[in-house]
Amino acid sequence: MKVKEANKYVRIIILLAALLTVGQGYSQDWAKPVIKNQQRVDLRDLGYPMVNEIPANSSAITSLVTAGNGIIYGGTSGEEAYLFLFDPAINKVRHLGSFPGHSGIHHALVEDRDGNIYVGTGKNMFGDVPLSRWGEGDERLDITLWKDIRKAYSDYQGGHLYCYRPARSNDQVKLAGMECEAEDLGMPLAHNSIYALTTAPAGDELYGLTYPDGHFFIYNIALKKFTDLGEIDPRKVFHGPERAWRTLCRALICDDSGKVYMSGNKGLLRYYDPASGKLVDTELEVPGDYNYLQFYQDYTAVEYFTRDAGGMIYGGTTDGYLFSLDPQKMKLHNLGKARASRRLRCLTAGRDGKIYFMAGERSASWPCQFYTYDPLQGDFENLGILIADRSPYYYWRGQQFDCMTTGLDGTIYLGESERMSHLFLYIPAGDAVK
């Protein structure tokens, strides 16, 4: 080997050694995590690389649910929608197949009383919507945006509801490109995605929302029948921060009595009453950044819901606020914002009594940060950017998240929603796991 060539390799080795010693304890000194016990944070690939891993451009996790037996099911968005599971018993993610013709599963995974998983499909919400040039003619901006969104969905047949039966299909290994073995139960509304799903306490009915028309529908499992109750909000507003998304409730939740909660017109809370079979308006305003002096008034919407062990409902809004709802007293409390940026993306109730959530916009300047809210103390704790550091084997910083769920053992599962995504795991400290 020539002397000059040998010197080049020596310099490379010295440089690598220097990089490994800088900022001991962390892989990248400029991205120090707030969580000091990094053994409590980890991630999982979505399958086996080059064998049956969900493709990078279809791996954004946009739905998660914890089944009664402790298995975590997830749905993805991108070029094609996929279903997967994480089984804590084997500590691995397993690929369950794709849904050809559909590019999204947005907040639309639920379990029925028999342990079957229902999947609501639609278009990828992160896909581009071609926007018209505004300012020509007399149309308002909101009218122009609505026409653009309707046009983007005009060539989409519509999202379907599927039933996946774990007892029949969980043991079958799926390779890359294979379809999910799920029964197609039909389409609730043409040219619309299924935007959100929840299930009745008895597990015999499913409730859903569609996008972009915002219809509330019921699916009776025994009768295999859809019932459309119409729009939850007749106004079309674009409060943002996503210019190409209509401001519409993005989640549903049931209380113990079977009432189904959502946000609607003027940011007011609504619920479906199974006793009367109707949507009921309330005077409870979802907290947001409202400007009552402007000529055109818009309003926030609910991004995500969760319930704690006592039945208290918690919600996060597109403006980044956390609120609680006591369904028995019908009292809503604004718990505030953890950070200045908009959007509280997802949340879940931990087994330690705390509420875990992600806040931040879908942008490089305002990525998601991880927080907790303690109802007993009434304060927030900033856990920072979620980082899985297993150096020298792997190091990954999660910046975009759109769904969360709590495992039976108290582990918090978070769905990363990037071009190449992972399932993150966070194990709360102390006596959180009970």
The pLDDT tens digits of the residues spanning 29-62 come to 456 778 877 889 999 999 998 888 999 999 999 9
pLDDT, tens digit (0-9, with 9 covering 90-100), for 75-91? 999 999 999 999 999 99
136 pLDDT above the threshold of 90:
no
- Output the domain CATH number for residue 208: 2.130.10.10
pLDDT at position 197: 98
Query: Is residue 3 in a domain?
Result: no
pLDDT at position 25: 43
pLDDT at position 36: 76
Report the predicted TM-score, pTM, of the whole model to 2 decimal places: 0.91
pLDDT at position 37: 79
pLDDT, tens digit (0-9, with 9 covering 90-100), for 364-392? 888 999 999 999 999 999 999 999 999 89
Q: How confident is the model at residue 432 (pLDDT cuts 50, 70, 90)?
A: very low
Query: Is residue 378 in a domain?
Result: no
In the chain, how many domains are there? 1
According to DSSP, the residues that pair with 104 across neighbouring strands are: 122
Weakest-pLDDT range from 9-13, 147-151, 312-316: 9-13
18 pLDDT above the threshold of 60:
no
**pLDDT average, residue stretch 18-23:** 45
pLDDT, tens digit (0-9, with 9 covering 90-100), for 310-369? 999 999 999 999 999 999 999 999 999 999 989 999 999 999 999 999 999 998 888 999
pLDDT at position 11: 54
pLDDT at position 214: 98
Query: Is residue 410 in a domain?
Result: no
pLDDT at position 20: 47
Could you tell me what percent of the chain has a pLDDT over 70? 89
pLDDT at position 6: 52
Highest mean pLDDT among 23-27, 168-172, 358-362: 358-362
pLDDT at position 291: 78
Query: Is residue 364 in a domain?
Result: no
Give the range of the structural domain holding residue 205, as residue numbers without chain letter: 61-352
Weakest-pLDDT range from 63-77, 125-139, 147-161, 317-331: 125-139
pLDDT at position 269: 98
Query: Is residue 157 in a domain?
Result: yes
pLDDT at position 27: 42
pLDDT at position 216: 98
Query: Is residue 84 in a domain?
Result: yes
What average pLDDT is seen over the chain?
90
pLDDT at position 140: 81
Query: Is residue 160 in a domain?
Result: yes
28 pLDDT above the threshold of 90:
no
Q: How confident is the model at residue 174 (pLDDT cuts 50, 70, 90)?
A: confident
Query: Is residue 136 in a domain?
Result: yes
pLDDT at position 232: 98
**pLDDT average, residue stretch 119-141:** 84
Between 216 and 297, whose confidence is greater?
Answer: 216
Between 167 and 407, whose confidence is greater?
Answer: 407
pLDDT, tens digit (0-9, with 9 covering 90-100), for 192-213? 999 999 999 999 999 999 999 9
